[in-house]
A and B are shown apart, each in its own frame.
Chain A
Amino acid sequence: MIEYKNVLTTCPYCGTGCALHLQVMDEKLVGVLPAKKHVVSEGGLCIKGWNAHAFVNHADRLTKPLIRKNGKLEEATWDEALTLIAQKLGEIKTQSGPDSVAILSSAKCTNEENYLLQKFARAVIGTNNVDHCARL
């Protein structure tokens, strides 16, 4: 059975919130169409919106956590990676103070993930050095 549909979603880049359709051909993402008559984007998209589908299946995306061992990046498990991060951040916070840590989030995260991250920065680390890529 052949399946083609357009899934309405919001562009993950800046804060404008343009709507766009993700063109899905047999469960594979193939392109983007703008959403006409949408209250925000009115059928237009910027160049980032037009390529919003490009990063989803990109070859450069990481599929496993990587830890640098002896100068080389090696694959690791999530447990290993999270334990290392918690240990190192704790050390830095004790040695150099909480404001020596900054947290950079992403506009491609959900609101809930961003809430967690800023809560982590403020309540756990104790710093307000938190920002994300779309505040440009």
Chain B
Amino acid sequence: MTEPKIIGFLCNWCSYRGADGAGMARLKYPPNVKIVRVPCSGRISPELVLRTFREGADGVMVLGCHIGDCHYSTGNHRTAKRMPVLKKLLEYTGIEPERLYVNWVSAAEGEKFAAVIKEFTETIRALPPFSETMKRGRPEGAEKEVEWTSA
């Protein structure tokens, strides 16, 4: 079975530093997550998450500052409003909503970061790869999915 591919969007001020903290403490966690640093978790638009799935991610993580601690005061309020609705939309479309993971990790929570990565990787490992899930909606012998076409 192939290893799950997970993309993690980490906010620069809290969760990314939390990841650094986990690294400095030499904590072990699965290597499946590729981290993308963004200024704030509020930067993550639903289009970004959807395209990440379309490009082949099996799971997407959005980690931000705790509510009330956002470097931009209210950026994570946007995340807290958008992401639950996106999870619902995934569910209504037939995609497992567990594939999108949202949590808050502060700069001092290296251990929580490692634990969250471990937990989510196991969640995704238990699910089929995203392409398999998509195949369920297709009748046998139908054309295969074409890669993203724009340059």
Direct contact of A and B (CB under 8 A): no
Interface residues of A (CB under 8 A from B): none
Report B's interface with A, CB cutoff 8 A.
none
